[in-house]
Amino acid sequence: MKKFFLFLSFIGLSYGGFCQEPDSSLHLSAGISFKKFAGFYTMSGVCAEVSGKCLAREHLALGLNVTSSSLGSAFFNNGIPVVAAELYARWIFRKEKTIQPFALLNLGFAKAFVNSDKYSSLSTSALLVSPEAGVACRFKPRMQLQGGLGFNLNSGNGLKGPGFIYPICFQLRLLYTFKN
């Protein structure tokens, strides 16, 4: 996992070599993210996204989600606190339109902070891999709402595997573009 993040850091630091075209400006967006596992936890947190002409002519966006159940389901009850960090690549269709379908791939890591022996047989960490499909809507020049349905390839059912990651998830992001 450490090698993966070092590789991504290298790509990010060497990014200046990718954008040598004229008008290769980047669009930086940030906002809030909500994730709901079907029949299980709700998580919320922050997200950030970078897109631009030098990323597949604005068809590709790269982003980061950091979410926690402590800001979701576990905020009001005694649910297991879970923290997840995901890097994602989003391919945008119909980029010129207000309604933009997209395909997305999330890669990340989740950690549950279990304080009970009752759950000691379950894994407390998991690698996250989830394809997602959805639609984005630009409703103001700098605002965007993204909603998607994903499937976690590495999931559990509460009895075996990572018991805090369920297969079907819904994701909602509200982003504000700082540099347009």
Per-position DSSP letters for 96-126, written without gaps between them: TSSEEEEEEEEEEEEEE----GGGTTS-SEE
Q: Does residue 90 fall inside a structural domain?
A: yes
Residue of 166, 116, 178, 174 lying closest to 146 (CA atoms):
174
Q: Does residue 13 fall inside a structural domain?
A: no
User: Within a 10 A sphere around the Cβ of 132, how many other Cβ atoms?
Assistant: 21
CATH of the domain at 145: 2.40.160.20
Q: Does residue 21 fall inside a structural domain?
A: no
Q: Does residue 17 fall inside a structural domain?
A: no
pLDDT of residue 15: 46
Sites in the chain below the pLDDT cut of 50: 3-4, 6-8, 10-17, 22
User: Within a 10 A sphere around the Cβ of 17, how many other Cβ atoms?
Assistant: 6
Q: Does residue 5 fall inside a structural domain?
A: no
Q: Does residue 108 fall inside a structural domain?
A: yes
Cα(134)–Cα(70) distance, integer angstroms = 26
Q: Which domain holds residue 71?
A: 27-179
Q: Does residue 32 fall inside a structural domain?
A: yes
Model-level pTM? Answer: 0.77
36-146-23 Cα angle (round to 5)? 145
Taking a C-beta distance cutoff of 8 angstroms, is the pair 50, 44 a contact?
no
Q: Does residue 155 fall inside a structural domain?
A: yes
Residues 6+ apart with CB under 8 A from 165: 37, 110, 126, 128, 152, 154, 155, 156
If one counts the domains in the chain, the total is 1
pLDDT of residue 102: 95
